[in-house]
Amino acid sequence: MSNLSSLQFNPHVATSPIYVGGASIESIKKEYNLDDVIKLASNESPLAPSPLAIKAIQEAAANLNRYPPMGDESLREVLAETIGRGTTPDHFVTGNGGCDVLSMMAASFLKQGDEGIICRPTFPVYEITAQRVGARMVYADLNPDHFTYDVKAILGAVTERTRLIYICNPNNPTGTTMTATQMEMLVNNAPTHVLIVADEAYHDFVTAGDYPDTLAHVLQGKNVAILHSFSKAYSLAGLRLGYAIAPPEIARYLSRARESFHLSQLVFAAGIASLRDRAHLEKMVALTLSGRAWLSQQLTNLRLPVWPSQSNFILFKPPFPAALVSERLLQRGVIVRPMSQFYLPAYLRVTVGLPEENERFIAALQESLAAMEAEGVAKEVATEESRGEFKF
């Protein structure tokens, strides 16, 4: 038996929170003894991957006795070909999902005593990866009523120890965006010792006309790195593939933080095939935009606070404690995501699903809220925390 008291633990890793993903369908079936469960919790695509990607995976599986390429040149070449606009393979860094790329960024640009800036409520992995390396997070929080960015507050939070500014755009979990004017102000006024990380994992679902052209800043050589993911519009959440777009010097530096053989044969095959199936991407986006509009209207009809979303999910605030509402939905076979780890304990987030899944969620929510009202369940009391004093 090992003697744990003799081991030397890294205090930054030991005290770093663990990111908890959404509950799985199988676990909820087992826990609640249900035969039919739908998951609208983790911002996944409701569609299967591109048929071209599935075929490519099947063909690649025959060679799994061999290591994948050490480099990722073939994938980066197709990324540059797909995105165009003067990008080259040297502008890209790939990783085992977007979270892997975020971990690479934290390890590459943060050390003990350094600072990063986040705008809560937002994706908690920024703070988790920074804490692992001993960095400190500084908060320039979103407006608590509209969840909009405050660029003056972000710039005001910058110190000589600031190394990274994280901008989730569209923001997870609010679905709100930083405008082109705001991004221009941020990029043009951030000190040169700061890298702006623009997490645009949900950019495929944006319809707003004032969304930033962040790639233009990258191509101008500014200290900006964009994060994209294959987990959302490309339906490859289970395979894990993400990438950064950055000026070549920054991209080459980031690539040094990759693990050896960091992508599998299956990932290479599926990623390249998915990029070449534009029709599947467009089908997924159209389905999401239609479902997003319908869900937003239905939640509004229920007189629930809803925030306009530019993503594949919707944030809303139930009248009863969010954890209790989530539990009632689970009992009806519907998984949504409580936002306690996203700095919003009084809120819920629902992913846009197939039309029949969206309808089932609304029906289950109506039943749950009506039952809780009839039972006299105490309603959520507005507090500073639930309004915007975000806590991790």
Q: Mind giving me the DSSP string for 152-169?
A: HHHHHT--TTEEEEEEES
265-275 vs 73-83: helix axis angle to the nearest 10?
A: 20
Residue 163: pLDDT over 50: yes
Q: How many angstroms separate the Cα of 111 from the Cα of each of 9, 106, 108, 247?
A: 17, 8, 8, 22
Give pLDDT tens digits for 118-162: 999 999 999 999 999 999 999 999 999 999 999 999 999 999 999
> Are the beta carbons of 91 and 85 closer than 8 angstroms?
no
The strand pairing partners of 38, in sequence order, are 334
138: Cβ–Cβ under 8 A, 6 or more apart, which residues? 115, 116, 117, 118, 157, 159, 162
168: Cβ–Cβ under 8 A, 6 or more apart, which residues? 119, 122, 123, 126, 199
CA quadruple 138, 144, 147, 149: dihedral sign? negative
> Are the beta carbons of 366 and 71 closer than 8 angstroms?
no
Q: What's the CA gap between 245 and 201, in Å, rounded? A: 12
Which pTM does this prediction carry?
0.94
> Are the beta carbons of 336 and 361 closer than 8 angstroms?
yes
Q: How many angstroms separate the Cα of 262 from the Cα of each of 18, 95, 104, 240?
A: 22, 7, 12, 11
> Are the beta carbons of 157 and 139 closer than 8 angstroms?
yes
CATH number for the region 9-48+279-387 comes to 3.90.1150.10
User: Considering only CA atoms, which of 132, 129, 130 is closest in space to residue 162?
Assistant: 130
Residue 21: pLDDT over 90: no
Give pLDDT tens digits for 173-191: 999 999 999 999 999 999 9
Give pLDDT tens digits for 248-301: 999 999 999 999 999 999 999 999 999 999 999 999 999 999 999 999 999 999
pLDDT band at 17 (very low <50, low <70, confident <90, very high): confident
Q: What's the CA gap between 381 and 346, in Å, rounded? A: 9
Residue 382: pLDDT over 80: no
Other beta carbons within 10 Å of 112: 10
Check whether domain 51-277 has CATH 3.40.640.10, yes or no: yes
If you ran DSSP here, which 8-state letter would residue 254 be given? H
So where are the chain's domains?
9-48+279-387, 51-277
Mean residue pLDDT of the chain comes to 95
> Are the beta carbons of 123 and 104 closer than 8 angstroms?
no
Other beta carbons within 10 Å of 180: 16
Q: What's the CA gap between 327 and 319, in Å, rounded? A: 14
Q: What is the reported pLDDT for 2?
A: 59
Mean pLDDT across the stretch 47-64?
Answer: 97
Q: What angle do CA 169, 172, 177 make, to 5 degrees?
A: 30
